[in-house]
Amino acid sequence: MKTRLKRLERGQELVEFALVLILFLVVLMVIFDMGRAVYYYSAIHNAAREGARHGITDQNAGDIQAFAQNVAVGLDIDPVVGITEDTVTVSIDYVFVPVTPVLSLFAGENSITLHSQATMRIEK
């Protein structure tokens, strides 16, 4: 009797493993995608902060933009620089496109806009 039940349940483990493997791989891909998003946000935040820090001593908007672009290695950013009498503001928007379509389901779109801004006082 037991041998007959064993024969009927022969491929059950394989089917269960295939179903769990699909779910595991999707979760793993979402984790990698979220890691990329956190890295890109960290990179643009650092670029905005360093650009504003550079703007403390050099109030040339073109130099500040170039400096911020050099800090964000590998990212195509276009920093917006605002200079007043006593502050420098660097604002960066970056469009992040997830590799996995699962993250797009949570975001509602195919891309997520990451934003970072840094303001510092000008040294006199």
User: pLDDT by residue (tens digit) across 86-98?
Assistant: 999 999 999 998 8
pLDDT the model gives residue 98: 84
Residue 115 contacts residue 91 (beta carbons within 8 Å):
yes
Question: Is pLDDT above 60 for 1?
Answer: no
State mean pLDDT over 43-51: 95
The whole-number pLDDT of residue 112 equals: 84
Interval 50-109: pLDDT, tens: 999 999 988 899 999 999 999 998 899 999 999 998 999 999 999 998 887 776 676 667
Query: Would you say 98 and 37 are in contact if contact means Cβ atoms under 8 Å apart?
Result: yes
For the whole model, what pTM was predicted? 0.80
Given a cut of 80, whether residue 6 has pLDDT beyond it is no
User: What helix, strand, coil percent values describe the chain, rounded to 5?
Assistant: 55, 20, 25
In total, how many domains does the chain have? 1
Which domain range does residue 79 map to?
2-121
The answer to whether residue 32 scores a pLDDT higher than 80 is yes
Q: What is the mean pLDDT of the chain?
A: 87
